[in-house]
Chains A and B, each alone.
Chain A
């Protein structure tokens, strides 16, 4: 009779070979340990996101869905080239992609109008989500997003990658350590207004001849946004600065930098109670906000000395003992008393890769990522409220419990937008 030990010695043992013999790299991740991604609506920004996913050893990208034929093929080509195969599947219907049981998470990098509805549909299909910012088109959508991800227990990472940027993290650390003293004010760069002013246009562009549906599905491109005649400029990225597709400079940039302020101050569960608009639609402009504890939040398109030194998407923290400011240039500006506390940090450009890796790590551990749906909801509601105050041209007060303005009925009517049929949230 052959014993188990004999079998191990004679037959199985020789079959245990180093993975490198099988063509696998040392330290390679088994396919079953990889987080499988699909993507929906990946343009230029989305390709930047995708390039980071493709570089993560324990992630695999397997499918693209887009309403544009050219985009589908471009992404498939990019993915297949990276993996050296032809495995990236193409879809023009998001439901077909989301029905795939092998896909764990989706990258959503469509235009803003699709962000919340698609994220919620993905959660309903049991998927985790990485979604580009701005994450919502209205206050109502922001809350619905947070509610859906809580309901389904799915993970959501807003594309607020600066939360994983070392220079931004050092600024947060300086506040948390007490070096800056008691928090007085937060400053969020929401400019320059020359690109996207605070009040986007409500006009339409002239109608152009609609391309064939197999080239561009205009109905699906519009999605939940109100109908309007086709114009090629929208599809080429010119949808920004049109109210039906975009929240203007305040939402566009605020979703980057107000989010940073909330993160740094650990205000991810609240919003300011007052919003005072200042300025015109051609800039400079700002919205002065105040939290219930008296701390100020100033959204401005420019206007402090460090802005030109610290780069785009800068934010600033002021305490009663000192101040600190940083942005995409990595450089940190600060008051003299803080300078001895600074240390070199890695480039801000590494934030996106770190942010994507954080999501992959969280998918494996089921911990909440730093830019969760709830955090995104609070920072986006803040931006939407500021945007509404700017449209109303008056100071608005906000009830953080009832989620309503307390001094303007029209502002309350602007908290939501109807979605084009058949879409809903």
Chain B
């Protein structure tokens, strides 16, 4: 008695339309940018006559295309108050070392939240070459930057990051230390995911010390239990 459902869309029933929303002005409409190729989009970024809106949209479309030829033009916007996020929108997906190099180079040039944004993008791309610069930031006076650096090191993972983060756990305080502890948890997970069980468990164990922030201490204990009781663990 099965009734089959039509496989193509049926006409929609008439429904009352809500009040129309405000219309975007012509200068804030993406228009032709949507269909541009990488060269044309890069041209928008380089053209001094391009507006902030045009550059923003070009950055987003470049990121979707993953166009490595746009890296220098994107990098030039990393310090821009409004466009920095768009520049990273473009850079983050580009599967080429030039994007890592551009972000790393920005570490020594930027300040404030734009610098934090770049650190976040470095963490997302897991650029291990940025490790030494991030470690330096861990011990800087700007807590927000130190926290971002810790998170990036956790995301990058690996033995070098883990060693630095574990050391920082004993040398940092307050909000920075909380971020370091969080990053250590992520590092532990990465070790386990990579099959490096001993290193992952050692880091979890270090995080169960009484002076470690409570949410992380509990998470580490749960991580140990989860690992010890998992079906696939070595016996």
Contacts and interface: CB of A to CB of B under 8 A. Distances in A.
Interface of A: 123-126, 147, 151-153, 181, 185, 187, 191-195, 201-206, 226-228, 231, 233, 238, 241, 278-279, 283-286, 288, 298, 300-304, 308, 316, 318-323, 335-337, 409-410, 412-414, 416-424
B9 A286 contact: yes
B50 interface: no
Given A413-B66, A421-B85, A301 B116 contact: no
A231 B22 CA distance: 10
Which are the 10 A-B pairs with shortest beta-carbon distances? A421-B117, A284-B9, A203-B24, A126-B215, A204-B28, A413-B93, A303-B10, A418-B89, A422-B116, A420-B85
A202 B21 contact: no
A410 B95 CA distance: 11
Contacts of B81: 227
Contacts of A194: 12, 15, 17
B30 A283 contact: no
Contacts of B13: 302, 308
Contacts of B28: 203-206
Given A279-B9, A335-B3, 13 more contacts: A151-B185, A191-B12, A192-B12, A194-B15, A206-B25, A226-B85, A231-B22, A284-B12, A321-B2, A337-B1, A413-B66, A421-B116, A422-B116
Given A203-B28, A413-B66, A322 B2 contact: yes
A359 B41 CA distance: 48
Interface of B is mostly: helix
B86 to A, nearest CB: 6
Interface residues of B, number: 64
Interface in B1-43: 1-13, 15, 17-18, 21-22, 24-25, 28-30, 34
A336 B15 contact: no
Contacts of A412: 93
B72 interface: no
A203 B113 contact: no
Contact of A424 (B12, B53, B123): B123
B215 A152 contact: yes
B138 interface: no
B9 A418 contact: no
13 contacts: A124-B182, A126-B215, A206-B22, A227-B82, A283-B9, A284-B10, A308-B13, A318-B5, A321-B1, A418-B117, A420-B85, A421-B116, A422-B113
B189 interface: yes
A8 to B, nearest CB: 39
A231 B8 CA distance: 39
A206 B24 contact: yes
Given A151-B219, A285-B9, A335-B1, A418 B21 contact: no
Nearest to B120: A424
A181 B30 CA distance: 49
B157 interface: no
Contacts of A191: 12
A263 to B, nearest CB: 20
A153 B15 contact: no
Interface stretch (B56-64, B129-137, B161-169): B56-64
B113 A204 contact: no
A327 to B, nearest CB: 14
Contact of B24 (A124, A201, A304, A421): A201
A193 B17 CA distance: 11
A55 to B, nearest CB: 30
A125 B57 CA distance: 36
A12 to B, nearest CB: 36
Contacts of B82: 227
B173 interface: no
A154 B146 CA distance: 26
Interface string B75-92: 000000111111011001
